[in-house]
A = this chain, B = another copy of it.
Amino acid sequence: MSTAILEGMRVVEGSAFVAAPLGGMTLAQNGADVIRFDQIGGGLDFARWPLAPGGQSLFWAGLNKAKRSIALNLRSDEGRELASALIAEAGMFLTNFPARGWLAYDVLAERRGDLVMVALAGNPDGTSEVDYTVNPATGFPWATGPRNFSEPLNSVLPAWDVAMGTLAAFGLLAAERHRARTGEGQLIRLALSDVAFAMVGNLGRIAEAQLGGRDQPKDGNYLYGAFGHDFETRDGRRLMVVALTARQWHALQDATEIHEACAKIEEATGYDLSTETGRFEARDLITALLRPWFAARDLSAIRELFAGTGVSWGPYQTFSQLVEEDPRCSTANPLFEDVDHPGVGHYLMPGSPLWFRAVEREPVRRAPLLGEHTEEILADVLGLSPTEIGRLHDAGVVAGPALAGANPDGH
């Protein structure tokens, strides 16, 4: 067993909201020393919902785990100088701040010629865009929701931010690999709308629109192009059942004993239920066949009946049910630990989902308090003396720990 998989990597992060913090956290939870700098008092995401009962941002705490935090007055020349010095020292920089002025790559690279920097933006031209404004443009909200519902429906999950954050971390590793082989630094640009629209293409939706000239209509909880639907159980719970592959389809027919009925449907309609397309075309009939079977059984009974059969299914859970009922979301799963969030309480925190056999699993580390590591970073990374650090404190250029919570929002 050796040390962390990203041993020896240091990354400075200047960020807010989801994508950039998630990218930094992905690196930090895999062993990189990630230093997030923030404006004293907190950045734009310091009060973002969800909030703890005491007002602290659980969002901020969730997306900054395992990092170190330094609080600087970024409106002062001295504060910017400290951030620039940290970036030069680390040699890697992740940001969704505008990459211009003192944060322009070429300015930062004057102090560190082989700097690797990833600059996240909303659109390729640098204009702003957030997940909640780019998602409507992708087409997915018009394909989401009950049949014949006349309005677009947004996703509650900021999926494009999630994809972008992970891709930013990938880009940093790719550029660091290149640097290790060539000595060359790198500016990486990544736009949220590009992440989203590329994925629309990757999933075949652009080609379908161009070649087929039609849009997938809203189709409730049906799977597109195969069989999948939700069902209500006798005890009022819901579950999703999917038959993508032939094996899953046979397992579902076996477990629910609908083989004969399916054969009759094939005779009656001409649909070929042995193909994905046939099962999609016959989805209303298959659903109607299956509904009474689920309505006659409790969720727990169905769980037992499906265990080991190869049926592809899963229960619907609220966030609370996930935490209360699902053993995969508990300390029985080494992904999670029960960790103390100072001033807020204990709760389940996830580490990195990646498990590397030849290195030790990183313990789950909470997010820092804002400015929790200001002094140690100034001392250890920049080599400043206690006297100099004291002067910076007194001058309001740096600040120590503060609890994440409601900020004045007066930016």
Cross-interface CB contact of A356 among B175, B334, B355, cutoff 8 Å: B175
Cross-interface CB contact of A174 among B2, B139, B173, cutoff 8 Å: B173
Residues of B within 8 A of A215 (CB): 318-320
Q: A156 to B317, Cβ gap below 8 A?
A: no
A90 CB within 8 Å of chain B: no
In A322-375, which residues have CB < 8 Å from any B CB? 322-323, 326, 328-329, 333-336, 341, 344-345, 347-359
Residues of B within 8 A of A77 (CB): none
Q: A323 to B206, Cβ gap below 8 A?
A: yes
Query: What is the total number of copies of this protein in its complex?
Result: 2
Residues of B within 8 A of A319 (CB): 138-139, 142-143, 200, 205-206, 208-209, 215-216
CA distance A350 to B17 in the complex (A): 26
Known: A188-B356, A189-B357, A314-B134. A197 touches B335 (CB 8 A): yes
Which one of A33-41, A243-251, A259-267, A387-395 is at the B interface? A243-251
Give, as a whole number of angstroms, the nearest-CB distance from A339 to chain B: 10
CA distance A352 to B350 in the complex (A): 29
A47 CB within 8 Å of chain B: yes
Residues of B within 8 A of A274 (CB): 409-410
Q: A316 to B137, Cβ gap below 8 A?
A: yes
Cross-interface CB contact of A62 among B203, B230, B317, cutoff 8 Å: B203
A225 CB within 8 Å of chain B: yes
Residues of B within 8 A of A134 (CB): 314
Q: B353 to A207, Cβ gap below 8 A?
A: no
Q: A130 to B406, Cβ gap below 8 A?
A: no
CA distance A185 to B250 in the complex (A): 39
Give, as a whole number of angstroms, the nearest-CB distance from A357 to chain B: 4
Give, as a whole number of angstroms, the nearest-CB distance from A208 to chain B: 4
Q: B143 to A208, Cβ gap below 8 A?
A: no
Give, as a whole number of angstroms, the nearest-CB distance from A233 to chain B: 13
For A1-44 the 0/1 string (1 means CB < 8 A from B) is 01001111000000001100010011000100000000000001
Q: A140 to B124, Cβ gap below 8 A?
A: no
Q: A276 to B47, Cβ gap below 8 A?
A: yes
Give, as a whole number of angstroms, the nearest-CB distance from A260 to chain B: 21
CA distance A138 to B156 in the complex (A): 12
Q: A358 to B185, Cβ gap below 8 A?
A: yes
CA distance A205 to B356 in the complex (A): 27
Residues of B within 8 A of A238 (CB): 136, 151-152
Q: B354 to A188, Cβ gap below 8 A?
A: yes
Q: B356 to A224, Cβ gap below 8 A?
A: no
Residues of B within 8 A of A137 (CB): 314-317, 322, 326, 328
Q: A247 to B203, Cβ gap below 8 A?
A: no
- 20 pairs from A and B in contact (CB 8 Å cutoff): A44-B245, A49-B277, A62-B204, A129-B314, A132-B223, A136-B316, A137-B317, A140-B156, A142-B316, A142-B318, A146-B149, A173-B174, A178-B358, A186-B357, A197-B326, A198-B353, A206-B319, A206-B347, A209-B323, A216-B319
